[in-house]
Amino acid sequence: MIEKKTQQALRLASAAALMAVAGLAQAASQTVAKDPETGALRAPTAAEAQALRGKAAAGRVSNAASQPRGLLTGKINPAPVYHRDGTVEQELDESSQSFSVAVRNPDGTIETACVTGAEAAQAIVKGKKSISKTAKVHAHEHK
């Protein structure tokens, strides 16, 4: 009988502790709006809450999309792997990839270059940069 009461008391205490922790976590993440007239903080209206959720979701998506992803695993910002023998393994992202680019000049000749990174390649293809002015051009001969 005493054991049952002890177990029941422990369950109640555990439940109360969990509720308190859940309440703290919830309190740490409350959303409020600032009243434009009074400047006082208040609960957001349904429209304001929806707009805030949309902005937050868009921020997470654009932030994740702008992060470099590993070419093999697709992980965002892959961490280096340190081996026991002292070697370091690093999964590379697209910024380290080499691209061969060919552009037809106004006089009809074709100019080629190898550049590092998709942005540098796109800049040449779209005519934003000339091959001779691109800083990321590799120094090797094209045949």
Q: How many CB atoms lie within 10 A of CB 23?
A: 10
Q: Are 115 and 124 in contact (CB under 8 A)?
A: yes
AA identity, residue 23: G
What mean pLDDT is reported for the chain? 77
Q: pLDDT over 70 for what percent of the chain?
A: 66
Q: How many CB atoms lie within 10 A of CB 115?
A: 23
Domain boundaries, the chain: 94-133
With a threshold of 0.75, does the pTM exceed it? no
User: Tokens standing for 21?
Assistant: 């922790």
> What is the model's pLDDT at position 12?
64
User: Parallel, antiparallel, or unpaired: how do β-strands 33-34 and 41-42 relate?
Assistant: antiparallel
> Among the ranges 13-17, 65-69, 130-134, which has the highest mean pLDDT value?
65-69
